[in-house]
Structure 1
Amino acid sequence: MPVSRLDIVYRKLILSQFFTKGWGVPEHLERLFDFRKVMSNRETCYQLVPKDYSVTILNSQVLADCHIIEGKFQTPFAKYQPGLVLPEVENAFFQMILPLHWDDAFKPVCIHLAGTGDHFYWRRRNIMVKPLLKAGIGAIILENPFYGLRKPKDQNRSCVQYVSDIFVMGGCLILECLVLLNFCEKLGLGPLGVTGISMGGHMASLAATNWPKPLVLVPCLSWSTASSVFTEGVMSESIDWSMLEAQYLNDELYSEKLSKACKIVDDPLACTLGQSFSDYPIQCEMDFTQKLKESYITPYEFFHSTKFDSAGDCKAMTYKSSLQKDSFLSKIYNFTRMPSFIPSKKVTNQKKKAKHALWFMRGMMDECTHLKNFSVPVDTSLVISITAKTDGYVPRRGVSKLNEIWPGATVRYLDCGHVGAYIWHRNIFRDAIIEAFTRAKKKRTTNKSKPT
């Protein structure tokens, strides 16, 4: 599938660099991998947050059209993983915006999680919350860990400094959403939901897996894992792969221990990274190829069972288009569609030399963010996913489909890229949220009318 030119150009205009300090402390990563197994199980994760978890109200004001409540609480993640959450990140701040009057007996409220670069409350409040308020849907805007009021002093803009920061961010948000959902129930609000755009969409998906009741979920411009985002998409150009490769090879805690502690979930030979426009030729023993397709594999196993050059008895696996390059149809197709994402020569050369870092990144990201590693939401019929067909930020080739992991979920595709969808189709995001809450209301009404 071609990639939106707008996604490519927009990413090149943003000069930010992610993970400038590397992978993170090995011991911290090991703890995160272990704790992921607790958080990915709904029964064990839900027990981590008491229903009466302490929430402090900082401000409450009634305006002409809404009631705004601001509050904070300590992220529960800091309690269970001491030393991993920075002091600036430890307090979770939120803004709740409720209509002055509800249209019916229901009081729907949706938690809005931040996309990359979405600091403070104003963007989500103006773009998503205010229009939804007119439809009778209240909101909670949660400040993202490492952003806005929670941004570490030495962090540049949205650029988290370690790969491990992404996992801390996700862990914080999952437990913080449980706090807020319990808080809403205590206030008599519902039905409840969670949504987000881009990174916020994926974080919303992770958070929704651990709520033990039906929950509206509308992830926008996200998919089933974050691994392809950082290894294949346009975001991969914002990472110093040479530095990550050097760290990996120079510390056996990464290369010999942690590479055995995480697993690549999807078939590594099916994704774009595995075929990769011939940039990263991969060879493997033929009997091992079937094993890759049938089971999860650690980066360590993958490295020791494959060759990353063109030598050897097996032919290198390379990407081949389904359309012949010289055919008339392919010329028309290429003319009418956006170009495929071709990394810059500098990044391409870095990736060729950083094969261990690339596949280690894929294994780590799959381990902590792949939805196959988490519980299935209680009611998948309340899930509506909005996806961009030519998304350059979230590649989907060779990645598990959301509606296959969560049977019953609705997936809709926009005929544009990531940035274009955000600019021109935000109304579709809002309409999906309204539709999902309508479904939730109908289900509640039906359940109440059933004889006990």
Structure 2
Amino acid sequence: MVSVNLGVLHYVLDHVYGAFLHRTRLSTPFFSSGWGGSNLVLLENMVKQLFPEAASQNWPPKMVRPSWNTLWETKTACLREGVFRTPCDEQLINALPPESHHARVAFLTPKFVQPQNMACVVHLAGTGDHTYERRLRLGGPLLKENIATMVLESPFYGQRRPRLQRGAKLRCVSDLLLLGRVTIEESRSLLHWLEGEAGYGKTGICGLSMGGVHAAMVGSLHPTPVATLPFLAPHSAVVAFCEGILKHGTAWEALREDAAQKAEMTLEQVRERLRSVLSLTDVTRFPIPKNPESVIFVAATDDGYIPKHSVLELQRAWPGSEVRWVTGGHVSSFLLHNNAFRKAIVDSLDRLPWREP
């Protein structure tokens, strides 16, 4: 009885937190400026290029060579920040806001260990994660395991946030597809750099919530074995915006007003159109990773944002992958279960072979 009540409490906490963020007038809703016009059509086509039926997956990606600046160092560790121009092609860059043309990464490494004897995991941002700090706190304790942490600042977030965007609330549906496509391209280029020029013996990709969806996509598309760790992540953005709590933070009326033939469209038809667009982010349509046994999902038992069926759909699509459950909701697990996330990172990397120098 106690565990049932605790489960209800975690679930209610997600809804209270969601109501505060998404049902009050403290912030604008998602997609308040509509679909994104011609950008949406462009991006729908570009996102489709990531799917397995595409003729090419654009590999190898453009090599990135970040310009590094040391933020701090101790006797045993060093934190650097790197800046590089996004490696995306010009058509994609032209669709980005100018603020997002250059990417930033934080790179936390142990000293006195050769890269070929180390692993490095790239950490991707969840919704609203504008800074490095939370992900550095997650990765920091892994230094003692000789695991370095690289934190990517997402387009539309942090110093890459467009001037007219308030907080994490993307203004157009096309912005969500653009954020995802650019994050995937940048992550693949960073992994290529880590494995090639930097010479790391093992690499991984992880993320929480939205970042977990992107991590799953990157792990799916990577041509060599990589640890893949989606945390508290759905199999598709459809789940988050059309089924979970974020549906209460979506500007449905603005989408209806911006739709073609808006006088004839009902709100239900608008929801179906959004489902259709966001189905492009369905990770079950992506290839099975090269090493599915190194895919570990960490999901919450009472998640108000991500239903259990969504996690299990992706596990079924990737035979050999593992799901680990933590007790809690989306918010409480985000706060309380970092040790479970770290354990998953260590275990996933342990299932990888070391690369030849």
TM-score, scaled relative to structure 1? 0.71
Asked whether the 8 Å contact 2:140–2:149 carries over to 1, the reply is no
Match of 1:222 in 2: 233
Q: Which deviates more, 229-238 or 27-36? A: 27-36
2:13 to 6, 19, 22: 6
Map of 1:167 onto structure 2: 177
In the alignment, which residue of structure 2 is the partner of 1:439? 351
> Shift in Å at residue 220 of structure 1?
0.4
- What pairs with 1:70-85 in structure 2 (closer than 5 Å)? 70-85=81-96
Shift of 1:54: 3.9
Q: Which has the larger radius of gyration?
A: 1
Query: How far did residue 385 of structure 1 move?
Result: 0.2
Matched residue SS, 2:298: strand
Superposed CA deviations along residues 328-377 of structure 1, whole A, max 9, x for unmatched, are xxxxxxxxxxxxxxxxxxxxxxxxx510111111111112x101222221
Structure 1 residue 401 corresponds to structure 2 residue 316: no
Match of 1:234 among 245, 250, 267: 245
What displacement does 1:397 show? 4.4
Pairwise CA distance, 1:395: 2.7
| 1-structure distance, mates of 2:163, 2:81 | 23
Distance 2:179 2:89 in 1: 11
Does the aligned pair in 2 maintain the 1:195–1:220 contact within 8 Å?
yes
The corresponding residue for 1:195 is: 206
| Counterpart residue number, 2:3 | none
Q: CA deviation at 1:95?
A: 1.3
Alpha-carbon offset, residue 399 of structure 1: 7.8
Structure 2 matches for 1:308-319, cutoff 5 A?
A: none
One-letter amino acid of the counterpart of residue 190, structure 2: L
Q: Distance in 1 between matches of 2:220 and 2:188?
A: 11
2:62 corresponds to 1:149: no
Match of 1:307 in 2: none
Q: Closer, same or farther in 2 for the Cα pair 1:362/1:386, shift >3 Å?
A: same
Change (3 A) 1:104 1:68: closer
**Contact in 2 for aligned 1:389/1:415 (Cα 8 Å):** yes
* Paired residue type of 2:19: K
CA distance in 1, matches of 2:311, 2:299: 14
Which of 133, 144, 147 aligns to 1:134? It is 144
- The verdict on how the C-alpha distance between 1:222 and 1:355 changes in structure 2, with shifts beyond 3 A counting, is same
Question: What runs of 5+ residues in structure 2 fail to find an aligned partner?
Answer: 1-6
Confirm whether residue 92 of structure 1 aligns to residue 103 of structure 2.
yes
Structure 1 position 187, deviation (Å): 1.2
Distance 1:43 1:108, change over 3 A: farther
CA distance in 2, matches of 1:243, 1:104: 50
Give the aligned partner of residue 390 of structure 1: 302
Distance 1:86 1:57 in 2: 22
- Unpaired stretches in structure 1, ≥5 consecutive residues: 256-352
SS in 2 for 1:141: strand
Tell me the amino acid that sits aligned with residue 151 of structure 1.
Answer: R
Name the TM-score, length of structure 2 as normaliser: 0.88
State the alpha-carbon separation in 2 of the partners of residues 385 and 76 from structure 1.
28
Alignment pair present for 1:243 and 2:243: no
Q: Structure 1 CA distance, aligned partners of 2:77 and 2:304?
A: 38
Instruction: Calculate percent identity across the aligned residue pairs.
Output: 31
Secondary structure, aligned partner of 2:84: strand
2:331: which partner in 1?
Answer: 419
Residue-pair matches, total: 341
Measure how far apart 1:184 and its partner are.
0.7
Amino acid at match of 2:112: H
2:320 alignment partner, SS class: coil
